């Protein structure tokens, strides 16, 4: 097959629940046959190129010829961005949608808050939250590990950092979930339009939060950002809303999947679980391995070729929409030995679960801390933890970029 034919062959539906449940066979096939595969993504007109081999994935993530702001790659008449309701547009200007100096400016405003030194101080609080949630599970004797634990731990922590009150946290999640569900299902514009009440409620909440903290600052990140003007740099009203939404969403929607998928991997690999219980020192490397094989973000967010570029022998014209297959790169046998095997003592931690290059995950230290404490406390507290349904019956969430379970029923 010629290279051109190769990348034209039919690729899997990478947003489907079926792909999320079992991505490795499709990824292995793509790496062998279509290292740059054409895929379609809901809400995006035209096709996207999915990069599937580790070496190419790492190169694209680092390469500044692939930009995040479509305006840096396409002519004004040809932007063809996914349609979004007007009410959501204020949230579109984030560090994850910008390049160069603008990206640097936005990221710089919150860098210190998520730096390893600051995050390390949160460990006692993470332990306390985990402990409280585990006691509630113990009292019930059973749990949905996603809703009762994996979600609440990171949601509590990121909400406390930002300053989101308890009563608002799960409401925000409900609104955001309804958007994710709508955009995962194709015919996005209509479905998103039907979600307008949720979108408006979410925006009202964000505006109220920012206005309240501006008026009566507290010791939290939203208050600091709302007053950032005093120190020089200032966020516009919309930039502030967008920053809060990005941090809140990125701060729990990903880590919930590390904790829940990670627990599933342990429960379905009992020998590895025994090994981890016997050697708590293994917890750090174990989290890296669960990040690699679980890949909570399975496909990176979109990038655009700023100029004509060749990847794996495939010519990508200027303006092409390029997606990096993180789960595929993380399970590439050209990079990792026996990549489909869970090996908690694996020494190679060069996975790309947190991305690479300028947009490398800002929250990686926090996610690692939460993963280590959450999974470590869980397996210590419940020596007999087990699934109540066969793993094949578990349901996975459809959607762009995130890979996670709908629920994980366990007895403890
Ligand atoms: C296991 C948990 C997590 C995983 C797997 C994860 C994964 C990622 C990945 C792959 C990217 C890069 C996306 C791309 O280049 O297209 C990213 C970026 C980002 N993550 Fe995370 N993340 C996690 C937790 C968090 C947490 C807890 C926060 C809280 C602040 C966070 C905040 C961000 C932000 C703000 C960016 C954008 C950085 C930039 O554009 O410079 N993430 N994350």
- Please write the tens of the pLDDT for every residue from 17-71: 999 999 999 999 999 999 999 998 876 666 899 999 999 999 999 999 999 999 9
Strands 48-51 and 321-324: parallel
Structure token digits, residue 227 = 């007053």
Q: State if residue 351 touches ligand 1 by the CB under 6 angstroms criterion.
A: no
**What is the length of the chain?**
412
Q: State if residue 254 touches ligand 1 by the CB under 6 angstroms criterion.
A: yes
Distance CA 93, CA 110 (A): 15
Q: What is the pLDDT of residue 272?
A: 98
Q: State if residue 294 touches ligand 1 by the CB under 6 angstroms criterion.
A: no
CA 247 to centroid of ligand 1, rounded, Å:
9
Q: What is the pLDDT of residue 5?
A: 42
Q: What is the pLDDT of residue 27?
A: 97
Structure token digits, residue 215 = 């008026």
Torsions phi, psi of 49, nearest 5? -105, 125
Pick the closest to residue 48 from 250, 301, 246, 296 (CA basis).
Answer: 301
Residues 328, 25 contacting (CB under 8 angstroms): no
- Please write the tens of the pLDDT for every residue from 213-227: 999 999 999 999 998
Question: Angle 143-379-298 (CA atoms, 0-180°, nearest 5)?
Answer: 75
Mutation probe of ligand 1 site: the residue of 220, 247, 249, 250 with most atoms within 8 A of C-beta: 250
Q: How confident is the model at residue 230 (pLDDT cuts 50, 70, 90)?
A: low
- Please write the tens of the pLDDT for every residue from 337-368: 999 999 999 999 999 999 999 999 999 999 99
Residues 318, 71 contacting (CB under 8 angstroms): no
Ligand 1 atom nearest the C-alpha of 258 is 1
Q: What is the pLDDT of residue 43?
A: 67
Instruction: Supply the range of the domain harboring residue 315.
Output: 3-411
Q: What is the pLDDT of residue 187?
A: 47
Share of the chain above pLDDT 70, in %: 91
| Domains contained in the chain, number | 1
Pick the closest to residue 352 from 398, 296, 405 (CA basis).
Answer: 296
- Please write the tens of the pLDDT for every residue from 175-222: 888 877 766 655 456 666 777 888 889 899 999 999 999 999 999 999
State whether residue 309 is helix, strand or coil: strand
Residues 261, 294 contacting (CB under 8 angstroms): yes
Which of the two residues, 190 and 403, has the higher pLDDT score? 403
Q: What is the 3-state secondary structure (H, E, C) of 91-135?
A: HHCCHHHCCHHHHHHHHHCCCHHHCHHHHHCCHHHHHHHHHHHHH
CB-based burial of residue 304 (10 Å sphere; 0-12 exposed, 13-18 middle, 19+ buried)? Answer: buried
CATH number, domain containing residue 294: 1.10.630.10
* Close Cβ partners of 269 (under 8 Å, ≥ 6 residues apart): 342
Ligand 1 atom nearest the C-alpha of 158 is 29
Q: State if residue 114 touches ligand 1 by the CB under 6 angstroms criterion.
A: yes
CB-based burial of residue 98 (10 Å sphere; 0-12 exposed, 13-18 middle, 19+ buried)? Answer: buried
Which of the two residues, 183 and 231, has the higher pLDDT score? 183
Share of the chain above pLDDT 90, in %: 78
| Max CA pair span of the chain | 65
CA 111 to chain centre: 18
Question: What does the CA dihedral 18, 19, 21, 23 come to, rounded to 10 degrees?
Answer: 150
Q: How confident is the model at residue 85 (pLDDT cuts 50, 70, 90)?
A: confident
* Residue nearest to ligand 1 atom 6, measured at CA: 354
Residues 252, 155 contacting (CB under 8 angstroms): yes
Q: State if residue 297 touches ligand 1 by the CB under 6 angstroms criterion.
A: yes
- Please write the tens of the pLDDT for every residue from 137-189: 999 999 999 999 999 999 999 999 999 999 999 888 888 888 777 666 554 56
């Amino acid at each position: 097959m010629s290279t051109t034919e190769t990348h034209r062959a039919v690729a899997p539906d990478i947003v489907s629940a079926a792909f999320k449940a079992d991505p490795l066979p499709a990824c292995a096939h793509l790496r062998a046959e279509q290292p740059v595969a054409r895929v379609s993504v809901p809400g995006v007109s035209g096709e996207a190129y999915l990069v599937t081999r580790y070496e190419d994935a790492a190169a694209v993530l680092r390469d500044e010829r692939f930009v995040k702001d479509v305006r840096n790659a396409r002519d004004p008449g040809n932007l063809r961005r996914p349609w979004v309701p007007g009410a959501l547009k204020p949230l579109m200007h984030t560090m994850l949608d910008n390049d160069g100096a603008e990206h640097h400016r936005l990221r710089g405003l919150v860098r210190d808050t998520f730096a390893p030194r600051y995050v390390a101080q949160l460990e006692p609080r993470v332990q306390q939250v985990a402990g409280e949630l585990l006691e509630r599970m113990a009292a019930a004797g059973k749990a949905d590990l996603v809703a009762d634990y994996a979600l609440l731990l990171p949601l509590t922590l990121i909400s406390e950092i930002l300053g989101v009150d308890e009563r608002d946290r799960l409401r925000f999640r409900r609104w955001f979930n309804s958007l994710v569900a709508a955009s995962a299902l194709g015919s996005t514009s209509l479905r998103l339009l039907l979600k307008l009440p949720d979108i408006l409620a979410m925006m009202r909440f964000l505006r109220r939060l920012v206005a309240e903290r501006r008026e009566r600052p507290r010791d939290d990140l939203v208050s600091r950002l709302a007053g950032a003007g005093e120190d020089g740099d200032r966020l516009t009203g919309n930039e502030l809303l967008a920053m809060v939404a990005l941090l809140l969403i990125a701060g729990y929607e990903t880590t919930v999947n590390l904790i829940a998928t990670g627990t599933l991997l342990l429960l379905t690999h009992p020998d590895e679980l025994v090994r981890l219980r016997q050697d708590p020192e293994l917890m750090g490397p174990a989290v890296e391995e669960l990040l690699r094989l679980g890949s909570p973000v399975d496909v990176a967010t979109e990038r655009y070729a700023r100029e004509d570029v060749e990847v794996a022998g495939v010519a990508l014209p200027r303006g092409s929409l390029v997606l990096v297959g993180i789960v595929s790169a993380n399970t590439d046998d050209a990079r990792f030995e026996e990549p489909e095997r869970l090996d908690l003592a694996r020494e190679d931690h060069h996975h790309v679960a947190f991305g690479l290059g300028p947009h490398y995950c800002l929250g990686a230290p926090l996610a690692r801390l939460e993963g280590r404490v959450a999974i470590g406390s869980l397996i210590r507290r419940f020596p007999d933890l087990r699934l109540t349904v066969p793993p094949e019956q578990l349901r996975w969430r459809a959607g762009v970029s995130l890979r996670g379970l709908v629920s994980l029923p366990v007895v403890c």
